Amino acid sequence: MNRLSEGKTKKRLFLCFKYLVLILMLIITVYPVLWMIFGAFKDDYEFYNNIWGMASEPRIENFINAWNRADLGQKYLNSIIITVLFLILLLPIASCAAYVIARMPKSKFRCKEIIYLLLLVGIVIPRGVLAIPIYQVIVALGLANTRISLVLVYVAQFLSFSIFLMRGYYASLPKGLEDAARIDGCGWFKSFWYVMTPLTKPGLLTVAIFGGLNVWNEYFLSSILIRSQELQTIPLGLAIFVDDHNVYYPELFAALTIATVPVVILYIIAQKKFIQGLTAGAVKG
Amino acid sequence: MKSRKLRDRIFIITMVAPALILLLAFVVIPLFIGAFTSLFQTTSMTGGGTFIGLKNYVFALQDEVFWKSIKNTLYYAVFITIAKNALGLGLALLLAKKMRGLTLFRVAVFIPVTFSFIVTGVLWSWIYSPVFGILNEFMNTVGLGGFIQEWLSDPAVAMTSICVVDVWKWTGFHMVIYMAGLQKISPDLYESAAIDGAGAWQKFKSITVPQMNATIVLNVLIAFTGGFVQNYDLVKVMTDGGPFNSTEVALTYIVRNLLKFMNVGKANAMTIILVLIVSVFGFMQLKIMTKEDDDE
């Protein structure tokens, strides 16, 4: 009897410990985010003197000033254009390649293995390492300082991972399905487009979230490929705004908030899909 | 029959061609252009210059700052790999059993994953700030004031301070992956081990680790290869390589050689050296990812 209750106390203590860790982690991850939002509403005095809490009188004009001074409207527009074009190109290009790798019998598709390995070259060389020679290629193509150069480079950088992922989805579809479509008179393309691809929606969503978020947040390549101010994306614009020494700090925090909050809201609305999308590369099956 | 074969072939080619062309243009060709340009002394992005053989590699390897940047890059990659995986796996193990509030917690720790490195870096520059940063304030409040550092301006701690930010951003990501991996292990295994009288550590060692082998290796490789390239953004906004090159990483130094010193040849030589180092691990990652494919 005594031992039993001892075990119970132990269990309870362990649960307490778990909650302690949980709450500590929660504070460490969430408080900095809240702190950023709090700071965005403060005036100069409170920014330095009321460090921890919320502003006593929230200043909305910080946001308006930040929006205007950092030209965030234009930056949002650029980021949206680039991310949308990126997805429009990436999804079909990756799907097409993944489909033939996954579904074409070897008798019809010689050197399939070699081509698949070639398509995965991007996994061997991580994104960004080749930034300097990529810049040289872009200059040589006469595409320097254009949105389309960024889009093309991004698509190329994400192709290998996307093809790898999509191949898995196509390969897992039952063979009978395609045979039935073929007997009904569908050609390869028709069965690819109308029968198989609609069934890979979860995969497409994963690629879209993973790639889209990465491109939306990308800084390194854009800082090298984009020179003119009117083409800057949000991360690029923010990094430059920060370097401006005359910046008014609450406005800087407002700019950070404006840049982050829409994505965070999107994430919270679709958190299951987001988490699945971003972790799918590392969890299999 | 023959035309059918031809049609199939045309179909295959048109399906893979766009992907192949893009990968050739922006991954394979840049690799060769980088290797080629690295043999020239030049300040031009579009070619030309004097052929100097492997001298740029000699210059790079004789450059103390370059060595320092490689060392920092390795430190960064090793630090974040160990920290992210230890924390991620530890938290996943601790929180494996269902408990109240877990879903909310999972959603919350994933928020920083959606942040850009720029926002993360700027935010943390202020958290570390000696003037009104919350870190020092916090340490003073809880009586750890003696441990306060010049987080970003002391060469001895600046690199670690930046690494911590990267760990902050990604720990939730690794934790979620490990949680998913743990869920796939059959509870029967643990039950029969418990009957055999195995303790917690024994269960971890002989069930969890072997069962999660692939997940662990992939997580380690993702963190490690990421550590070579993702550090650019954070370093750029937080310290820009300073103080005294103490946070200079390979990519920031390569870009500095290109944009500031206009040494295109040497920047490319350093790029190729970095590619050689990273691709070893990238190749391992590819091997593991495709091996699992074959098992399916």
To the nearest whole angstrom, how far is the Cα of B146 from the nearest Cα of chain A?
Answer: 20
To the nearest whole angstrom, how far is the Cα of B137 from the nearest Cα of chain A?
Answer: 9
Q: Is residue A137 part of a domain?
A: yes
Q: Does residue A43 come out as left (phi exceeding 0), alpha (psi in the -120 to 50 range) or beta?
A: beta
Distance CA B265, CA B270 (A): 9
Which residue in B134, B168, B271 is closest to A51 by CB distance? B134
Regarding whether A138 and A266 lie in a shared domain, the answer is yes
| Distant-in-sequence, close-in-space partners of A273: CB < 8 Å, separation ≥ 6 | A205, A209
Kindly determine whether residue A130 and residue B172, on different chains, have CB atoms separated by under 8 Å.
Answer: no
Kindly determine whether residue A242 and residue B237, on different chains, have CB atoms separated by under 8 Å.
Answer: yes
Sign for the CA dihedral angle at B56, B269, B157, B119 comes to positive
To the nearest whole angstrom, how far is the Cα of A132 from the nearest Cα of chain B?
Answer: 7
Which residue in B16, B112, B118 is closest to A115 by CB distance? B16
Kindly determine whether residue B46 and residue A139, on different chains, have CB atoms separated by under 8 Å.
Answer: yes
Regarding whether A76 and A6 lie in a shared domain, the answer is no
Q: Average pLDDT, stretch A250-255?
A: 90
Q: Is residue A86 part of a domain?
A: yes
**Which ipTM did the prediction report?**
0.89
| pLDDT single digits (tens) A172-228 | 888 888 888 888 888 888 888 888 889 999 889 989 998 999 999 999 999 999 989
Distance CA B19, CA A80 (A): 23
* Domain end point (choices A59, A82, A102): A59
- Residue A6 is part of which domain span? 2-59
Regarding whether A51 and A155 lie in a shared domain, the answer is no
Kindly determine whether residue B283 and residue A124, on different chains, have CB atoms separated by under 8 Å.
Answer: yes
Q: Average pLDDT, stretch B110-130?
A: 91
Regarding whether A53 and A85 lie in a shared domain, the answer is no
Regarding whether A47 and A103 lie in a shared domain, the answer is no
Q: Is residue A65 part of a domain?
A: no
Least confident of A98-112, A270-284, B33-47, B134-148: A270-284
Which residue in A123, A152, A155 is closest to B289 by CB distance? A123
Q: Is residue A185 part of a domain?
A: yes
Residues B187 and B146: beta-carbon distance below 8 Å: no
Residues B26 and A153: beta-carbon distance below 8 Å: yes
Kindly determine whether residue B282 and residue A278, on different chains, have CB atoms separated by under 8 Å.
Answer: no
Regarding whether A143 and A21 lie in a shared domain, the answer is no
DSSP, collapsed to helix, strand or coil, labels residue B41 as strand
To the nearest whole angstrom, how far is the Cα of A217 from the nearest Cα of chain B?
Answer: 5
Q: Is residue A284 part of a domain?
A: no
Regarding whether A271 and A171 lie in a shared domain, the answer is yes
Regarding whether A109 and A52 lie in a shared domain, the answer is no
Which residues of chain B make contact with A188, given a CB cutoff of 8 A? 8, 11
Regarding whether A87 and A16 lie in a shared domain, the answer is no
Which residues of chain A make contact with B34, given a CB cutoff of 8 A? 130, 132-133, 136
Distance CA B68, CA B250 (A): 9
Regarding whether A166 and A44 lie in a shared domain, the answer is no
Residue A245 has pLDDT above 70, yes or no: no
Q: Is residue A90 part of a domain?
A: yes
Distance of CA B266 to the CA centre of its chain: 24
Residues A143 and B45: beta-carbon distance below 8 Å: no
pLDDT bin (cut points 50, 70, 90) of residue B23 is very high
Residues A177 and A196: beta-carbon distance below 8 Å: yes
* Domain end point (choices A59, A84, A101): A59
pLDDT bin (cut points 50, 70, 90) of residue B189 is confident
Which residues of chain A make contact with B94, given a CB cutoff of 8 A? 18, 21
Structure tokens at B294: 């074959």
Which residues of chain B make contact with A25, given a CB cutoff of 8 A? 91, 105, 109
Q: Which of B7, B11, B253, B292 to mutate to test the interface with A (most CBs of A within 10 A)?
A: B11
pLDDT bin (cut points 50, 70, 90) of residue B105 is confident
Kindly determine whether residue A96 and residue B127, on different chains, have CB atoms separated by under 8 Å.
Answer: no
Distance CA A112, CA B17 (A): 13
Characterize A67-80 residue by residue with b for buried, 16 or more Cβ atoms within 10 angstroms of its Cβ, and e for exposed. bebbebeebbebbe
To the nearest whole angstrom, how far is the Cα of A103 from the nearest Cα of chain B?
Answer: 11
Distance CA A282, CA A230 (A): 37
Nearest residue to B102 (alpha-carbon basis) of B94, B114, B112, B111:
B94
To the nearest whole angstrom, how far is the Cα of A10 from the nearest Cα of chain B?
Answer: 15
Q: In the prediction, which pLDDT does A285 show?
A: 37
Kindly determine whether residue B26 and residue A160, on different chains, have CB atoms separated by under 8 Å.
Answer: no
Regarding whether A50 and A159 lie in a shared domain, the answer is no
Distance CA A203, CA A163 (A): 10
For residue B288, the chain A residue with the least C-alpha distance is A282
Kindly determine whether residue A220 and residue B233, on different chains, have CB atoms separated by under 8 Å.
Answer: yes
For residue B5, the chain A residue with the least C-alpha distance is A108
Distance of CA B44 to the CA centre of its chain: 31
Q: Is residue A285 part of a domain?
A: no
Q: In the prediction, which pLDDT does A4 show?
A: 64
Q: Is residue A246 part of a domain?
A: yes
Q: How many domains does chain A have?
A: 2
Kindly determine whether residue B46 and residue A235, on different chains, have CB atoms separated by under 8 Å.
Answer: no
Structure tokens at B58: 């000699």
- How crowded is the C-beta side of A178, counted as CA atoms within 13 Å? 22
Distance CA A256, CA A18 (A): 33
Residue B47 has pLDDT above 80, yes or no: no
Q: What are phi and psi of B43, to 5 degrees?
A: -115, 5
pLDDT bin (cut points 50, 70, 90) of residue B296 is very low
Q: What percent of chain A has pLDDT over 90?
A: 43
List, in sequence order, every residue forming a beta bridge with B41; answer none if it has no partner. Answer: B50
Kindly determine whether residue B251 and residue A189, on different chains, have CB atoms separated by under 8 Å.
Answer: no
Regarding whether A196 and A244 lie in a shared domain, the answer is yes
Characterize B162-179 residue by residue with b for buried, 16 or more Cβ atoms within 10 angstroms of its Cβ, and e for exposed. bbbbbbbbbbbbbbbbbb
Q: In the prediction, which pLDDT does A74 show?
A: 94
List of domains in chain B = 55-295 (1.10.3720.10)
To the nearest whole angstrom, how far is the Cα of A188 from the nearest Cα of chain B?
Answer: 8
What CATH number corresponds to the domain at position A212? 1.10.3720.10
Structure tokens at B293: 């494919």
